[in-house]
Chains A and B, each alone.
Chain A
Amino acid sequence: MNSKKLSALKLPRISIFLFIFLLISIIIIAQILIRQEEKYKLRDLLDRGNYLVSLISLHPLNDFHGDKRDFFLRTFTEYTTYEGLVYFFIHDDGKLPIVSLTPKSMASEIPHDIQMASLNAMGLKKQSFKVSNTKTTVYEFAKPIFEQGKKTGTVRLGLKPPPTSPFSFEWVRLLGMIALFMIAIILFLYYSITVSLRPLKKLNQEFKTTCGSSQAMVSDSADGESIGLTIKTLEHSLMQIKEKLTKIETNNVALASKLGVATFEKNQVVNILDSINFGIVITDIQDKVSLMNKYLLRLLNRKQEDIRDHPLGDILAHDEILAFITELENGQQNNNTRQLETTFPELAPGDIFSVSLIILKDREGRFVGKMISIRKITREKAVEESQREFITHIAHELKTPLTSIKSYSEMLMDGEIDDAEMKKEFYNTINVEADRLTALIQNTLSISRIEMGSLALNRGLVKTDLLAEDSVAAVETAAQKKHIILEKNFPEIFPMLVGDKELLKVAIINFLSNAVKYTPENGEITFSITDQNGLAVFDVIDTGFGISKDDLPHIFDRSFRSLDPKIRDQSGSGLGLAIASEIIHLHGGEIEVESEPGEGTHFLIRLPKEEYYLAEQ
């Protein structure tokens, strides 16, 4: 609304301005012309005066007497019948006027000095004076009459310039013409401006559409071809454009910062993807690779620039994986939890990989691509396999003594064994197998405690004399049966340990019972304990079968059993040394083995003493 009012006011203001401009122009031009006219008339008057006095002064004085005088006056009056003549005198040499043509009132108006100067002049004399009480200036021309080289009289002529008025018919006509001319010029200019501003109006419409409907009010009244309105609209539009530009610039800055953040986040994501230790490939909606992390690039022996925007099928040329993806996509789009286990025999021989697919969707749930992850699970599979084998092994080992117990007891119960000796043998077997079962269960429990780590350790002070005594007691009977000499080399002061007494006992008994088991009859076992520089050192030296070079690296592996028939003849779960070594390591100790097949084995176990252990804590 405001702008409309503004434009309404603007229209007369421009007209008034133009009118005043026109008026002033006319006045100025009229003034200039009047001045010019006056100047011209004055010059004409001077020329005329000069000419007349010069012409008249050529005549002898006699020409102005008698009949000639009348003729002269008639001719002069005819010739000088115009408004400019004020007075005319011809003086004789006595300075008396012989011809006088003047209104009476005028004679007295001529200043005396002007009159005298003219009468005394020896040549053409021009003078001017103002008639009192009027603005009229009178120009007096005087020239002496010479006859035979002697001044005989003087001609005096008073002329006044004709009035120059702007209100005369000629002037009004002239001014009218000027005004018409100027109006024509103004109209022409106005038309030209309007024509040349037409594109501006168009532009205005453009701005209207560009800047929105808010300035519709400015436009339509502009049909009146108001330049002011157009300019106003234009200004308004420009302001709007400026505002929009500022807004856009602000938006741009916001977008740029958002883009910066997005780029940063994208880089972060790429860095994260690159740092994870499994393969990731992301495809777009057309199944072209948009990103592949470093792990997968390495695995596939590719470079990022070589794979981007290439079809997935070309890059991941693995029929099994591609078929798996197609199957998931086609059949069970929602079931993305399925995984494929596969291999890359040429690129990663011996490794097993788990492949899974994630369908990527946007906020509206539309499909935007997919992510395939390829994770190496060789180790997990190995661990899984070894655990499965371990459980199978344990089950087998538990069932073996149970089998003996069940079958022997069944036969005893059925009364099938009559012979007293055989009965005794059967009962003994049941007893031995029950002990074996107990030991096995003990070992299995130890394993579960070991697997729980140091948290499950029942820490306390361990006196090595008691530990040694209990351990020896556990194997003494078996040793005696085989007539094995068990020599004990114990110090006077036994070192003290901090640790789990029961677990340490399991470990030491395992070393000792192994020595008994794999030492033939009449052999010898030396068990010694020494205190060495803060370490409690246990030595178990036997004269047994020894360990082959092939077996040596595996003796601490879980459920490892030698294929050596001499070893195989002895019942064993293959758990003993694995458990013993884990217990020693759990207590910060270490084990060394030296063995010579056929000669014997030396196990050296070093455990940190309590002060060192406590200091470490």
Chain B
Amino acid sequence: MRNNKKVVIIDDEAHIRRVIEIKLKKHGYQVMTAKNGKEGLNLIKTQKPDVVISDIMMPEMDGKALCEETNVLKKDQPFLTIIMTCRISADEESWISNMQDTLFMEKPFSPNKLVEYINHYFGGSYD
């Protein structure tokens, strides 16, 4: 089950970070967590993850600002970003669709579905 894919989870809700972390670890991903966009951006820059799962509404740096930063990084080091948010309004959908390799999932989410998205990105294996 173990693979070398690194996942960074960025969410200000500890319970959410915790459940995603457990789920992904069970599927063999290496998981790192951050409480806000700023911490998350540091992790991305240092750890060079394969997947970033991020909330939008967060203190310090929100999901949109984070994506704008990472979109530049993706030119050298492409990775999947999954934006998980409780609210998807039309303007949010539009900025998300403009980002490279970025998907969105609406909260409440299914951990199984999340793993499916990630696996699909890495070659369609639904283990």
Contact = CB atoms under 8 A, between A and B. Distances in A.
Interface string B105-126: 0011111100000000000000
Interface of A: 392, 395-396, 399-400, 402-408, 410-411, 414, 416-417, 422, 429, 433, 561, 563, 565, 568-569, 571
Interface of B: 12-13, 15-16, 18-20, 22-23, 26, 35-36, 57, 59-60, 86-87, 89, 107-112
Nearest to A436: B15
A391 to B, nearest CB: 10
Given A395-B87, A403-B86, A411-B23, A571 B107 contact: no
Contacts of B15: 404, 408, 429, 433
By secondary structure, the B interface counts as loop
Contact of B57 (A396, A414, A416): A396
Contacts of A411: 19, 22-23, 111
Contacts of B60: 563, 565
B13 A400 contact: yes
A400 B107 contact: yes
A417 B111 CA distance: 13
A459 to B, nearest CB: 37
Contact of A407 (B12, B16, B35): B16
B86 A396 contact: yes
A46 to B, nearest CB: 147
A414 B112 contact: yes
A392 B87 contact: yes
A399 B16 CA distance: 12
Given A433-B15, A565-B59, A571-B13, A407 B108 contact: yes
Nearest to B89: A392
Given A411-B23, A565-B60, A568-B59, 8 more contacts: A395-B87, A400-B107, A404-B15, A406-B110, A407-B110, A410-B112, A563-B59, A568-B12
Contact of B19 (A395, A404, A561): A404
Contacts of B57: 396
11 contacts: A400-B86, A404-B13, A407-B16, A407-B19, A408-B15, A410-B112, A411-B23, A433-B15, A563-B59, A563-B60, A568-B35
Most buried by B among A392, A407, A408, A429: A407
A561 B59 CA distance: 9
Given A416-B23, A568-B12, A571-B13, A410 B111 contact: yes
Contacts of A433: 15
Contacts of A565: 35-36, 59-60
B43 to A, nearest CB: 16
B41 to A, nearest CB: 16
Contacts of A571: 13
Given A403-B107, A407-B19, A407-B110, A396 B13 contact: no
Nearest to A400: B13
Contacts of A392: 87, 89
Most buried by A among B59, B87, B89, B108: B108
Contacts of B107: 399-400, 402-403
A563 B108 CA distance: 24
A264 B48 CA distance: 80
A569 B35 CA distance: 9
A332 to B, nearest CB: 26
Most buried by A among B12, B22, B23, B87: B22
Contacts of A399: 86-87, 107-108
B69 to A, nearest CB: 19
A569 B60 CA distance: 12
A590 B116 CA distance: 54
Contacts of B110: 406-407, 410
